[in-house]
Structures are given as structure tokens and as C-alpha cells.
Amino acid sequence: MAQKLSNKEVAYKTLTKTSTFINKILSLGTYGPDFATEDGLFCSDFATVTFNDPDKSKGKRKLKFTYKRQSSPVDNERLARQYILQGPFVKDGGKIEVTGKFFGSSARKTLRVSKFLKTAEFGGQGAGSNKVNLGTEFEKTFFKRLDAAASGIKMLNEKTKKGLDSYSKAVSYILHKTSGPKNTGGKASPAKKIDGVEDTGGKNTSRPIKATKASLYISPSVASQHGKLLSDIDIHHASGSTSHLSLKYGKTLTFINAGVMQIFKESEIRNNEILNDVGLNILAAFGIDKTIFCDVFNKYGTQSFRKDSGKVELTNTQKKLLRSFLKTGIGSGYWMVHGQENQSVDFYYMDDMKNQTASTPPDQVQINYGGAGGKAKRIDVEFSTPYFDFKMNIRNKQSGVYPSHIMLDYTTKSAIGKTNIQNSSTF
């Protein structure tokens, strides 16, 4: 069973724990106002200390002091000193209560100190996972911030210890949102306790392209099953549910990056043929002419295909294939965390409704055979949906000529409802 804090620990037993407690309440120095409990992460607003008046000449009466964060650091430091001096009076029947809100809830509650877990700050076992195994610096840094925030630790600049460190405001905002009712079906759903965070970016998750005669999709065929496959960080909740975070960084992002050497076989292309359903349906979904497609690779280095490029109207059958491909390529049931170069984060939830809108096929696409210049060993297809601007390309990414990969790159439009979070943001 997890250890809990006590009045004596945060009032008079040791100066270290007493100072830590009041510093968290007042958000002084490197301390944040959040406390871990068995019911979730609790953000404190103020602490109230009640004890018997030590001046017996005035009879038996209770004294009550409130310690609430002030705008002036000097005032907060004064309150901290006052709290430490008055701490020993709590021994004689006093109590300490903290008022605030659970992450994901709008209801204000008052808790006794005995509800708080003894985390690493108080000499106990830290909450959350310390596993860091992500491939990029952004993912590593973001996981570190999120893991610390889930334990109630406020991340300040590691070098100067002044000001918030990168992504600190973002991780706090994201913990609130993923704990809240909007992620569990609306107003009637309860807030969810955070039970730890896990780095899932190192897991080997396969999303192969599949097809039948009349369909094209990224496996699995149901969009909502892709959330866990796209996840880089999982936030686990005590209820058993999980919030999946998909982390991206930079300007150009990718939904699909898959090998196609067994789909578009060199031996078939040389004979101007594509014989499998996956390859045929990929070409159909994007309005690509099979003969010109083969010529781009067969005649590479000898011919320009700019005259063959241009806008192509999609038929209803082609739109149906493209919609299914986009629905499963985009997926649903995850939160997008898109890191920006200025160390802000764009954040939104991809639910089934947004997935439906995001995968709405366009009436026409722009096809560039041989790339923009018409002479490259690639085919590019550009188009837009209400939420994304897409660029699909089939090309050779290796030393050969014939296709090795298909990629679906994208940029996100503002219509999707992104929230940009900076350390200066106020929520």
C-alpha cells in the first residue's frame, strides 16, 4: 500500500518535508502545486491550518490561518516562514487541509493532508514511469516533463532553475485534458485518475496496407483501433482506460511511410502491369493512370512527364477507396501532440467524428508524374481535406529506380481545432 503524508510530517517533524509542503502550496522555487493522491493528481489552491490558541489566557479557542499563493515572491516567502514557525502548534489537536481541484474536474474540494501520497519529494517512492526509450529529442524531453508532472513536480529550467522549462505548461494542460470528461464521452463521464505514464514509442507496431477487389485500407480496418498503434506515450488511468498520445515534431508530418517493393514489383512494371489488388487500388484511389505510372520508372532519365501532369477528377468509386485509405491512415482515438520549433505544442484530440471529416475525399487531385519537374523517379499527388493538406508520393528512396516506398505527408489546418500551448499560455 502506498505511503501517505501526515500532519506532523508537513508541519513539525522535519524541516525538509515541512518546507517542501509549503513551498508546493505557494509554488515557490522549483516546486509545483500538484499532489499525487489515490484518486488522481490534485492541484492545490491554498492550505488552511487550524489549531488551538497557545495563549491560554484567552480561553480555549481555535485559530485558523490560510496560506494562498500571492503574486509577489516576497509575500510568498513571508508566508512560508510564518507556516514553518507555526507548525509546532499543530501538535495539539490541529489539522491541515488543502483546497483545490482534481485534474480533469471543475469541482473544488478540500482534502486532509493524509489523502496525499508520499512521493519522491517527501522521501517516498516516486509516481509514474521513468522509462525513456524514444527516438527523438522532442519525444525524450516531452516524456521526461510529462512523467515529472504526473508526480506533481514542477519542471523549471534545468540550468538556471528560473522560469519554466520547455513544454512544462503543455504537459500540465495535457494531463488536465486527458483526465477530464471530454475524453470519456461527455459531461456525464467522471474525471479519471492518472496512474502513470509509459513510453510506447519503441514498440514495433505494424500497419500494413491491405486490399480486396473493392477496398483499400491500412490494417486494422477500423479507424479507432489505430490509436494505440500510433501512440508514443500512454497515460494510464486507474479505471483501466488509457489516453494515447501521438508525438510529432516539425513542419512536414507523415501518416504513412510504407515499403511497396512487393506491391509495385519491378518485374511487373517493366511489363507495364500491376497485378495485385493493393497496387491497383492505390493507383485508383489517387486517380493515377497505370500506363503513365509504369512509364515514369521505365523511361526514367529519358523523358519528361510534365505534360501528363495536372488535375484529375475522382469518380465515386475512387473516392470510396481514398476515404477508406485515409480513415485508417489517420486513425482515431488518440491525442496529437505536435511540437513546434519555438518549443510550443499544438494539441488536439482525433476522435471518430474528426476522423470522418479529415478523411473526406476531394473532388479532384493534382498529380505530378515525375515529380514537380516531371523527370524524377516518383509520382506526387497533392490534395486537401477540411483538416489537412496532403502530399502522397510513390518513389524510390534507395539507390534503385523502381518504387520502394509510399508516403503520405501532411500539414494540419487550423479548422481542426488545435490548441497552441506555450509556457506563457494562460488557461
DSSP H helices, 119-240, are: 137-149, 168-179, 227-230
Q: Which amino acid is at 197?
A: V
Cα separation, 227 vs 330, in Å, equals 9
Instruction: Please list the residues that pair with 242 across neighbouring strands.
Output: 236
Cα separation, 166 vs 155, in Å, equals 8
Residue 66 domain-assigned?
yes
Residue 333 domain-assigned?
yes
pLDDT of the chain, 427 residues: tens digit per residue: 568 899 888 998 888 899 999 999 998 877 889 998 888 889 999 999 998 877 766 667 788 999 999 988 899 999 999 999 888 888 877 899 999 998 878 889 999 999 999 888 887 754 444 433 233 688 888 998 898 888 887 666 655 555 566 888 899 899 999 987 654 444 444 567 788 899 997 676 789 999 999 999 999 999 999 999 999 999 999 888 999 999 999 887 999 999 999 999 999 999 999 999 999 999 999 999 999 999 999 999 999 999 999 999 999 999 999 999 999 999 999 999 999 888 899 999 999 999 999 999 999 999 999 999 999 999 999 999 999 999 999 999 877 899 999 999 999 999 999 999 998 777 6
Last residue of a domain, one of 95, 126, 157: 126
Q: What is the largest CA-CA distance in the chain?
A: 105
User: How many domains would you assign to the chain?
Assistant: 2
Residue-number span of the structural domain to which 402 is assigned: 249-421
Residue 400 domain-assigned?
yes
Last residue of a domain, one of 126, 149, 173: 126
> Is 293 within 8 Å of 379 (Cβ atoms)?
yes
- On whether both 111 and 258 belong to a single domain, the answer is no
Q: What residue has cell string 493534382?
A: 366
Residue 28 domain-assigned?
yes
- On whether both 114 and 260 belong to a single domain, the answer is no
Nearest to 234 by CA among 152, 187, 174: 174
pTM of this structure: 0.77
Q: What residue has cell string 479507432?
A: 224
Residue 100 domain-assigned?
yes
Residue 117 domain-assigned?
yes
Residues 6+ apart with CB under 8 A from 195: 236, 237, 238
Q: What is the per-residue pLDDT for 183?
A: 44
Residue 166 domain-assigned?
no
Beta strands 334-339; 242-249: pairing state: parallel
Q: What is the per-residue pLDDT for 418?
A: 94
> Is 336 within 8 Å of 254 (Cβ atoms)?
no
Q: What is the per-residue pLDDT for 91?
A: 84
Last residue of a domain, one of 126, 161, 183: 126
Q: At what angle do helices 73-86 and 15-26 cross, to 10 degrees?
A: 140
262-271, long-range: CB within 8 Å, 24+ apart, which pairs? 263/209, 263/406, 264/394, 264/402, 264/403, 266/400, 266/402, 269/293, 269/294, 269/297, 269/298, 269/402, 269/403, 270/298
184-191, long-range: CB within 8 Å, 24+ apart, which pairs? 184/241, 191/40, 191/102, 191/103, 191/104, 191/105
